[in-house]
């Protein structure tokens, strides 16, 4: 849920986590610092900077504690980290993360393959993380958000029961999660389903209904964002330059592209707080840290439309 | 307006016109025939097969009469041609086209540059075309549809007044056009604007409100389709393989991709009549007719989701 007064929508940048973990080589730690600082400088309010998983499994994320420790010094931005379990959450909070995001898969097959746990065991892990959060000595309690992955379908199981996704969200809310969002991990979601499922999520768990995490595997990413906006979703994950790509085709990025998402929202009159020129400039830090890496996105190449005004300045001119 | 009972949305394929006219080399006429036949075989209900303009200006379209003459032999599909003026419409009807589409630009600067006429002069031309239509001796009267180009913004003029777009649509309806659609020629449209303008169009000209023609220049094409669906638009133009341009390159057409559009609609439960496998197979005819030409689209590379059911079979299983 978005509670920031000067913006309408939170764009939660996941490139330093989801993008970097999807490519084979590692970005050097000082380059990560520079990129994250440039992203924060563009006005993004949330950045997911790393993943506290085994460095054997994801060596690109081995420096997560160091990256978080540096990123939390930036002002005006909430620093998130992905954690698969209690141990990861301990490390993330110790490093200073203000919020952790825990993936819980709705697909039983995907859950077992991905984290070696059933969805029910994953809910128990979230409960343990929330207990740790409640015992956190810091003045401002850190946040625990959950993203229900494969919420719109699974490459192993195919369609996923919507009743089950909602029941899982309820259990996660009872377990103490601050917000529960829905992730289209596999690029299976369609706008009708997105609108229906997010509306039902809000009816069921109210203010704990979280954001949307869409992939662009089949080109439907921003179409799904429009549908989610119809269901009053106010937080969206995206990755600068669609970093991390997609195993499929040229142009078929994995995560939706932050530049195109911000342009979509701002052109609709929805304030993101992001300065598009600065956001585009931040792409240079990826080019510096990962020379030759393919970046995606239409807006950076097409440029802004003639006479384009960001949402905030249009609102000011109406005031 | 869609009046076909067994489908919910008309996907109007414009690749053989908008796609082919946007690239420098020409597809040989027999290859056009094969491609158009393959598109019709996939179940598409409308195909815009050529443009009756000066062959000096667009040599790729010099065979328009021959292409129309062959295409109208195909059953179950309406064959359209683009015509810039009365002379073009005469040639199109003589060739057997069932419907002509006339571009009328809302931007004065664009209109003069593109067709050497003011928007008011273009309306007069539409009126003359409609008079000719009314005198057509064929049993089934041919159709005259207008697409208002630069309806959402113009690279020369910047923002375009929405009041003016609606006033222009009213004049075109009075001039006798059967339907008036809105075209985002420049990739400037955003979903909020699309929903607002199409709703207003329908309130103003009722059943004459036509379809949406979106470009993907800034990656917003399918997002705008979702917004138009919210405004009850039932016809959308698109181009197979996004033929005719990398959406990134300056001047490229960047039509939305038919394969991704059909997937969007079918996955939402909206029947298009199109068999996706056959549609993807038709790409082979482009490869044969224009070897090496780049094709776009996410779905052809990613494939259908596991357990995917087209809209018609889902409706049947519910019946």
With H, G, I as helix, E, B as strand and everything else as coil, classify residue A181.
strand
Question: Would you say residue B1 lies in a domain?
Answer: no
Structure tokens at B54: 């000066």
Predicted confidence at residue B319, as pLDDT, reads: 59
Positions of chain B with pLDDT under 70:
1-3, 244-253, 318-319
Q: Dig out the tokens for A36 from the structure.
A: 């994250």
* CA atoms of B95 and A14, how far apart (whole Å): 55
Helix axis angle for B191-205 and A258-267, nearest 10°, is 40
Q: What is the pLDDT of residue A179?
A: 98
CA distance B10 to B1: 9
Q: Is residue B4 domain-resident?
A: no
The distance between the two most distant Cα atoms of chain A, rounded to a whole number of Å, is: 55
The confidence band for A150, taking pLDDT boundaries of 50, 70 and 90, is very high
Residue-level pLDDT at B252? 47
Q: CB burial class (10 A; 0-12, 13-18, 19+) of residue B5?
A: exposed
Give me the pLDDT at residue B249, please.
44
Which chain A residues are Cβ-neighbours of B218 within 8 angstroms? Answer: 260, 263, 298-299, 302, 305
Average pLDDT rounded to a whole number, residues A211-223 = 95
pLDDT value at residue B22:
87
Structure tokens at B202: 């329908």
Q: What is the CATH number of the domain that holds A69?
A: 3.20.20.70
Q: Which pLDDT tens digit goes with each residue over A165-192?
A: 999 999 999 999 999 999 998 899 999 9
Residue A232 CB coordination number (10 Å): 11
**DSSP state, residue A28:** P
Domain residues for B31?
A: 10-318
In a domain, A2, yes or no: no
Q: Which residue in A146, A143, A142, A109 sits closest to A124, CA to CA? A: A146
User: Is residue B192 in a domain?
Assistant: yes
Mapping DSSP to helix (H, G, I), strand (E, B) and coil, where does residue A158 land? strand
Q: Count H helices and E strands in chain A, helices first.
A: 14, 8
How far is A5 from B65, CA to CA, in rounded Å? 60
Parallel/antiparallel/unpaired status of strands A209-214 and A179-184: parallel
A250: pLDDT strictly greater than 50? no
At residue B248, the pLDDT reads 46
Which regions of chain B does DSSP assign to beta strands (E)? 10-13, 46-51, 78-82, 99-105, 143-149, 179-184, 209-214, 235-238
- Quick check: A223 pLDDT over 50? yes
d(CA B300, CA B304): 8
Q: Which of A:153-182 have CB within 8 Å of B?
A: 153-159
Interface test with A, best of B250, B305, B307 (most A CBs within 10 A): B305
Q: What is the DSSP letter of A241?
A: G
Q: What residue of B is the nearest CA neighbor of A268?
A: B192
Best CA proximity match to B260, nearest among B289, B228, B284, B236: B236
Radius of gyration in angstroms for the set of CA atoms belonging to chain A, rounded to a whole number: 18
Residue length of chain B: 319
Using the predicted structure, report yes or no on whether residue A248 has a pLDDT greater than 80: no
Which two structure tokens, joined as six digits, stand for A134? Answer: 């409640």
* Residue given tokens 């041609």 in the structure block: B81
In-domain check, residue A134: yes
Query: For residue B210, which of B188, B190, B232, B225 has the smallest C-alpha distance?
Result: B232
Task: Please indicate whether, in this complex, the C-beta atoms of A249 and B301 are within 8 angstroms of each other.
Answer: yes
Q: Is residue A1 part of a domain?
A: no
- Does B147 map to a domain? yes
Report the gap between the CA of A248 and the closest CA in chain B (Å): 6
Closest chain A C-alpha to B124 CA, distance in angstroms: 30
- Spatial distance between the Cα atoms of B50 and B63, rounded to a whole number of angstroms: 8
Cβ–Cβ under 8 Å, residues A302 and B248: yes
Mean pLDDT score, A262-278? 98
Q: Check B263 against A298: CB less than 8 A apart.
A: no
Q: Which two tokens stand for residue B185?
A: 């020629």
- Which pLDDT does position A3 carry in this prediction? 61
**Beta partners for residue B92, in sequence order:** none
Does A302 reach chain B within 8 Å, measured CB to CB? yes
B-chain residues near A267 (CB < 8 A): 190, 192-193, 220
Decide if A27 is inside a domain.
yes
pLDDT tens digit string along B238-284?
999 999 655 444 444 589 999 999 999 999 999 999 999 999 999 99
∠ CA A171-A176-A179, rounded to 5° = 85
Helix%, strand%, coil% for chain A, nearest 5: 45, 15, 40
Query: Per the structure block, which two tokens stand in for B14?
Result: 């414009």
Chain mean pLDDT for chain A: 93
Query: Measured between alpha carbons, how far is residue B28 from residues A78, B25, B60, B238, B255 in Å?
Result: 58, 9, 9, 22, 22
- Residue B310's SS3 state is coil
| pLDDT the model gives residue A288 | 96
Answer whether B187's CB lies under 8 Å from B215's CB. yes
Contact A228, A244 (CB under 8 A): no
Average pLDDT over residues A263-292: 97
- Which of these, A150, A76, A168, A87, lies nearest to A113 by C-alpha position? A150
CA neighbor of A181 nearest in space, from A152, A213, A204, A153: A213
Complex prediction ipTM: 0.94
The count of structural domains within chain A is: 1
Is some CB atom of chain A closer than 8 A to the CB atom of B4? no
């Amino acid at each position: 849920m978005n509670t920031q007064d000067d913006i309408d929508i939170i764009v939660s940048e996941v490139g330093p986590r989801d993008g970097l973990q999807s490519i084979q080589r590692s970005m050097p730690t000082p380059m990560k610092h520079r990129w994250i600082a440039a992203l924060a400088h563009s006005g993004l309010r949330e950045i997911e900077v790393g993943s506290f998983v085994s460095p054997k499994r994801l060596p690109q994320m081995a420096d997560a504690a160091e990256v978080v420790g540096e990123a939390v010094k930036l002002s005006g931005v909430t620093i998130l980290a992905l954690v698969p379990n209690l141990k990861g959450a301990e490390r993330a909070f110790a490093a200073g993360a203000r919020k952790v995001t825990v993936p819980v898969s709705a697909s039983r097959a995907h859950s077992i393959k991905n984290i070696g746990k059933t969805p029910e065991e994953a809910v128990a892990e979230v409960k343990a993380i929330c207990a740790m959060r409640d015992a956190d000595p810091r003045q401002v309690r850190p946040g625990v958000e959950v993203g229900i992955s494969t919420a719109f379908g699974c490459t192993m199981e195919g369609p996923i029961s919507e009743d089950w996704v909602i029941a899982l969200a309820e259990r996660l809310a009872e377990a103490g999660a601050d917000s529960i969002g829905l992730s289209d991990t596999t690029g299976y979601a369609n706008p009708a389903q997105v609108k229906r499922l997010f509306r039902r999520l809000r009816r069921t768990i109210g203010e704990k209904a979280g954001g949307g995490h869409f992939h662009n595997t089949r080109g439907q990413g921003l179409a799904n964002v429009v549908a989610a906006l119809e269901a009053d979703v106010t937080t969206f994950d995206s990755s600068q330059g669609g970093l991390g790509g997609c195993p499929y085709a040229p142009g078929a990025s994995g995560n939706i592209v932050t530049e195109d998402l911000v342009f979509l929202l701002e052109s609709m009159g929805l304030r993101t707080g992001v300065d598009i020129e600065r956001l585009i400039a931040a792409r240079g830090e990826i080019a510096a840290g990962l020379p030759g890496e393919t970046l995606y996105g239409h807006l950076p190449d097409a440029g802004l439309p003639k006479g384009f005004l960001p949402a905030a300045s249009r609102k000011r001119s109406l005031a």
